[in-house]
Structure 1
Amino acid sequence: MRPGAVADALARFEWAFRQPGRYLNASEVWQPGLEVEDARDDLEKVMLHLPLGARRDLGRLIARIDEEFERRTLPDPRPVRVRAPDGWWWARTRER
């Protein structure tokens, strides 16, 4: 991971969660090609390499991010076999 990757990932979530409305808008992205799901992937990768104390601290922050992301998205209606094999956050949809 590059320096600043965690700060960038957290900034993407902060930006997304500031957007108005109950649900996240799929058409609004931080930058083209940079979805909040990508930011969540980055945070997951970082967790694998942190020492225990830092992993706990970031884990608490990620848990709050996950709660808000789940609250502002819906389950993906496509069958499980069609979904991305990545983290659960890729199996959510931001469109109603």
Structure 2
Amino acid sequence: MPDGTTSTSNETIGGIAGEALQQYVDRIERLEEEKKALSEDIKQVYSEAKSTGFDIKIIRKIISLRKVEEHDRKEQEELLDLYKRALGME
């Protein structure tokens, strides 16, 4: 503003609607907080699994594999086996 005062959040400045921008920022911040809380929950579940004797690295690998489509996973496993044989690891 010309007199040096700050603008209100519902004004359009440089083509940006302040109120809409504020809503997006607020939503992102709220989701980031939820993500942080979920991350802590996941960490706690891994800790519980570890305390009962499960190998966390293997659990993480299983979760990673379950995210991949079956045909893609089989292709990756075949390539891994091929590379291991080529390196004399099997």
Is TM > 0.5 for Structure 1 vs Structure 2? no
> TM-score under structure 1 normalisation?
0.26
Higher relative contact order (CA 8 A, sep 6+): 1
Name the structure where helix makes up a greater proportion of residues: 2
> TM-score under structure 2 normalisation?
0.27
Q: Which has the larger radius of gyration?
A: 2
